[in-house]
Amino acid sequence: MTYLLENDRYLLSIVYANGILNVKIEGSINLDDSYIIWQKISEKSTYFSCKRIFIKSDLESIDRSHAFQYKDLFDELCTPWTFKIAWAEENPQNRENIRYIGRVIGYWGLNNISYVDSEDSAKDWLLETRKLTGSY
């Protein structure tokens, strides 16, 4: 089952396979778009009872000044500390912004996130049995 959301700014696809929620995001997103995207990820996570999430993105831009608002977004939409998220950003210009946002969110409790260079390393990390916090 594939979930697709496409508009003039971005494309979101979510596919559940082999115990992992595979998320692909392409295009340009703002904070409001992020809210919609994470709402859909949270819904699909609940539907499939899956807390392991692989995100592969190719973003035109992401604003690091919204990092503290992302913490509020997670608090409202989901229980982020129960997720285990591996994130690979294809656009090298955005990698540091995503890492920065992740560090800020990590200070507030989302510590189960890894920034990876390949899909294979992401899936290996996601399927590790070691629990950092929460429940997978």
17: tokens are 């396979």
Taking the C-alpha atoms of residue 116 and residue 123, their distance in angstroms, rounded to an integer, is 10
The reported pTM is 0.82
Return the closest-CA partner of residue 56 out of 29, 81, 90, 33.
90
pLDDT (0 to 100) of residue 133? 46
Taking the C-alpha atoms of residue 8 and residue 86, their distance in angstroms, rounded to an integer, is 26
Residue with more model confidence, 20 or 82: 20
Residue 131 has pLDDT above 70, yes or no: no
Asked if residue 98 belongs to a domain, the reply is yes
Asked if residue 22 belongs to a domain, the reply is yes
What residue numbers bound the domain in which 55 lies? 2-127
Asked if residue 135 belongs to a domain, the reply is no
pLDDT (0 to 100) of residue 68? 76
Burial of 105 (0-12, 13-18, 19+ CB in 10 A): buried
pLDDT single digits (tens) 69-112 = 877 777 777 665 578 888 888 888 888 888 887 788 777 766 67
Number of domains, the chain: 1
Task: Assign 79 to helix, strand or coil.
Answer: coil
Asked if residue 132 belongs to a domain, the reply is no
Asked if residue 67 belongs to a domain, the reply is yes
